[in-house]
Amino acid sequence: MSKIICSAAIRGAHKIVDMAEEKYEEALKKYGPEHEVAFPNTAYYLPIIYSMLGAPVKQLGDMKEIFQECRRLLPPPVSENVWLPYLAPALDAGMATFFAEEMFEAIRYIEDPDFYTKTEDPTDDRFWLGAADDVIFRKRGVEFVDGTAPGFAAILGTPADPETASKIALELQEKNLYIFMHDQTDGLNMPEQLLKQGNQIGWSTRLVPFGPTYTSAVFAIGFACRVALAFGGIKPGDYKGNLLYNKDRTFAFVMAFGPVSDEWYANAAGAINWGFPTISDWDIPEVLPTGICTYEHVVSRVPHDEIVQKSIEVRGLKVTVSKIDIPVAYGPAFEGERVRKDDLFLECGGGRTLGVELLVSKEMEEVQDGLVTVEGPEMTDVEEGAKLPLAILVEVAGRQMQSDFEPILERQFHHLINYAQGIMHIGQRNIMWLRVGKAAIEKGFKFEHIGRILHGKLHQDFGAILDKVQVKIYTVEDKVKEVLELAKATYAARDERLGSMTDESEDIFYSCTLCQSFAPSHVCVITPERVGMCGAYNWLDGKASYEINPTGPNQPIEKGECIDENLGQWKGINEFVQKASRGKVSQVSAYSLMVDPMTACGCFECIATMLPMCNGIMIVNRDYMGMTPSGMKFTTLAGMVGGGNVTPGFLGVSKHYIGSRKFLKAEGGLKRVVWMPKSLKEELRERLEERAKEEGIPDLLDMIADEEVGTTEEEVLAFLQEKGHPALSMEAAV
């Protein structure tokens, strides 16, 4: 490693450890050793320290040993006269840097709790977000699982020109990468430069402003560490496993703009431990030999118009970008973009007007591939603030196309349309809502381009089953009403088809191993009555996916001989799971929480767990932030359930499955549920009330406690006794 870089990194590490330790001593005197420390709402303590050392830093006093470890790691400053192998000492200095910065940031949360917004997106008066809490982390983790986010760029500083900064950010977004932003260059920071250009920043657009100083780089590295812990089955303290996991699976790199300080060198050296190289626009020494990183470690003097492509090349990322011929940028990074009132040019549906979208299959001769027609006013024909009715009718044909595939393809409309910059799509079917921003109109975006998007992407993603795609878009009310009537009849037929299917009526179930890239031993088994725990895949989706990609993550499984009908165990399922989990899981129960429950990757919508004192089951959804009667918040529970582990008494479930007749059948099903957050209860009320009537307890939902009743088992038990909840008289489940 370059002697200049090594010397600077070690100097920077000494400065950072000294600074952090001084801050620690001040905090210790002020708050005492028993004062709690944490990054808010995370089950991973200080994640870099926890993942590398296995040390849960819970109180200020716990930091003393970590600082001692920093001092052990810190090499002496590089002598001018003695030549050494510099790489190893620099890497140790980088690791000490991250440990010290993580403790520094944790103390910052104590001293100034409002320094960071602690939200998913910036607030009106502040844009530095701070560490991602576990709700954000697990929500975004799914994108790293399914490949829509191949990696992230950790940016230090910013180009001086706002237009250049925006162009670089846009190119990174178009490559589907997350952009984590830190520190400043000559008083300028990247988020402010992007805001000047009208960019929306925050997790929803993948432009994440972590913090205003270099110490916030630990939020990016900590995010990578949590990926390995949550999804990869890596244990705390397995530093080698964590580093290798991230080098091979979590593709990231550092992009530095402007003069590189000793502190930046120290952070860059730390990132190399994880296989994350640094690419800079500044004239600094390069480290070109391979070793820790996949290719070069430090590359410098890269022009701004080449820096994104160079970064991707150096990191070894394989990014597949599909170019859609439309006048706005296009990619998953824009899916979370919002078109707010001040930016709004046009809207359709969403209760403002009639809106509907439908995909139907036709005979080959009935479809003209590539035909896009718009009947009614185009976007360019109306004034700002207009509201138009909208029907999007997609007709497809293919030799392998089946009617069962229609809802799967139709469901793609939501994200495919949202990928267009400046376009916001919410809802599906006849509750869809489209908003178009002024900037998109200024660039020439029209309804026609929605047709181009759907034609191109459906061919691209589902070419195995589609031969032809044509799109008809209507913006006149009489034609919209015609499509709406057709859609209602089609929706009803689809719902009846899926609703009539049972686990007993089908001999084939489907696997989902999509998340094995993060949780290698996880295997989800999807049945007609048990939707995947992420809520995104049902039995028909599994069937369609297999037809589309026979070697993909959704494989057919012959149930075989029934081992236990009540638990939901079959010989064929167990044999498949044992093989697919590489021998880690020998058997699973489709209907049990306590006996051989299914594994989870971390992408579940809800968690179910036992409340022994209440002889019942509580369910908590990901969006609920409060305490639960189990004594743990969702984030803590999620740390126990994920990673592909079998955890009897804890189970990841989808919202849809809660209303299934097979929901935890072995433990008594819905009658055993005693607590769930009020928001979840209301969201599922209609479906759960229908199930309760089937069970002969029509008022069951009113017997289920929520956070307004209590968040301790004692409070819940008293409520259950008052209401006469059936779980109290059921046989003990534990």
538 contact partners, CB below 8 Å, separation of at least 6: 498, 526, 528, 531, 532, 656
Architecture of domain 338-490: 2-Layer Sandwich (3.30)
Residue of 460 and 191 predicted with greater confidence: 191
**Directed axis angle between helix 87-111 and helix 217-231, to 10°?**
100
Residue 519's pLDDT band (cuts 50, 70, 90): confident
First CA to last CA distance, the chain: 58
Q: What six digits make up the tokens of 338?
A: 């919002």
Whole-angstrom distance, CA of residue 704 vs CA of residue 689: 12
Model pLDDT, residue 447: 97
Tell me how crowded residue 59 is: count the other CB atoms within 10 A of its CB. 15
Tell whether the model's pLDDT for residue 82 goes beyond 90.
Answer: no
Environment class of 448 (CB within 10 Å of its CB; exposed 0-12, middle 13-18, buried 19+): middle
Contact 154/253 with Cβ under 8 angstroms? yes
The stretch 457-470 carries a mean pLDDT of 88
Tell whether the model's pLDDT for residue 134 goes beyond 90.
Answer: no
Least reliable range by pLDDT among 159-163, 457-461, 482-486, 673-677? 457-461
Residue of 115 and 399 predicted with greater confidence: 115
Tell whether the model's pLDDT for residue 88 goes beyond 70.
Answer: yes
The stretch 234-252 carries a mean pLDDT of 92
Q: What six digits make up the tokens of 74?
A: 């810190």
**DSSP annotation string for 149-184:** --EEEEEES--SSHHHHHHHHHHHHHTT-EEEEE--
Contact 132/118 with Cβ under 8 angstroms? no
The stretch 146-170 carries a mean pLDDT of 92
Residue with tokens 């900590």: 222
Residue of 17 and 81 predicted with greater confidence: 17
312 contact partners, CB below 8 Å, separation of at least 6: 175, 319
The stretch 671-690 carries a mean pLDDT of 95
Sign of the Cα torsion 362, 366, 371, 377 reads negative
Question: Under the phi-then-psi rule, with left for phi > 0, alpha for psi from -120 to 50, and beta for the rest, what region is 640?
Answer: alpha
Model pLDDT, residue 518: 65
Cα 147 to Cα 66, 175, 334, 393, 517: the distances in Å are: 35, 12, 15, 29, 9
Model pLDDT, residue 320: 58
Beta bridge partners of 600: none
Express each pLDDT in 486-514 by its tens digit. Answer: 999 988 887 676 677 899 999 999 999 87
Cα 734 to Cα 218, 617, 705, 730, 731: the distances in Å are: 42, 11, 20, 11, 9
Residue 538's pLDDT band (cuts 50, 70, 90): confident
Model pLDDT, residue 407: 84
Residue with tokens 């069951």: 700
Residue ranges of the domains in the chain? 3-315, 338-490, 508-729
Model pLDDT, residue 156: 98
Residue with tokens 């489709």: 590
- The angle subtended at Cα 705 by Cα 701 and Cα 711, nearest 5°, is 160
Helix (H) or strand (E) holding 16: helix 3-31
Whole-angstrom distance, CA of residue 93 vs CA of residue 6: 9
Average pLDDT, the chain: 91
Model pLDDT, residue 553: 85
- Strands, DSSP E only, in 79-214? 151-156, 178-182, 207-211
Model pLDDT, residue 715: 97
Model pLDDT, residue 99: 98
Model pLDDT, residue 84: 52
Model pLDDT, residue 348: 96
Parallel, antiparallel, or unpaired: how do β-strands 508-512 and 556-558 relate?
A: antiparallel
Residue 63's pLDDT band (cuts 50, 70, 90): very high
Q: What is the domain class of 3-315 according to CATH?
A: alpha beta
Sign of the Cα torsion 42, 44, 45, 49 reads negative
Contact 376/475 with Cβ under 8 angstroms? yes
Tell whether the model's pLDDT for residue 2 goes beyond 70.
Answer: no
Tell me how crowded residue 430 is: count the other CB atoms within 10 A of its CB. 17
- Residue of 277, 266, 276, 319 whose CA lies nearest to 302: 277
Least reliable range by pLDDT among 318-322, 375-379, 396-400, 642-646? 318-322
Whole-angstrom distance, CA of residue 118 vs CA of residue 380: 40
- φ, ψ (nearest 5 deg) of residue 538: -110, -175
Cα 444 to Cα 2, 405, 420, 470, 540: the distances in Å are: 50, 33, 13, 22, 38
The stretch 681-697 carries a mean pLDDT of 94
Tell whether the model's pLDDT for residue 430 goes beyond 70.
Answer: yes
What's the distance, CA 641 to chain centroid? 17
Whole-angstrom distance, CA of residue 227 vs CA of residue 517: 11
> Model-level pTM?
0.75
The stretch 654-666 carries a mean pLDDT of 94
- Residue of 237, 238, 184 whose CA lies nearest to 210: 184
Q: What is the domain class of 508-729 according to CATH?
A: alpha beta
- The angle subtended at Cα 138 by Cα 134 and Cα 142, nearest 5°, is 165
Beta bridge partners of 356: 391
Model pLDDT, residue 411: 82
84 contact partners, CB below 8 Å, separation of at least 6: 78
- Residue of 346, 339, 422 whose CA lies nearest to 390: 346
Express each pLDDT in 558-600 by its tens digit. Answer: 999 999 999 999 999 999 999 999 899 999 999 999 999 999 8
Model pLDDT, residue 498: 67
Residue of 80 and 458 predicted with greater confidence: 458
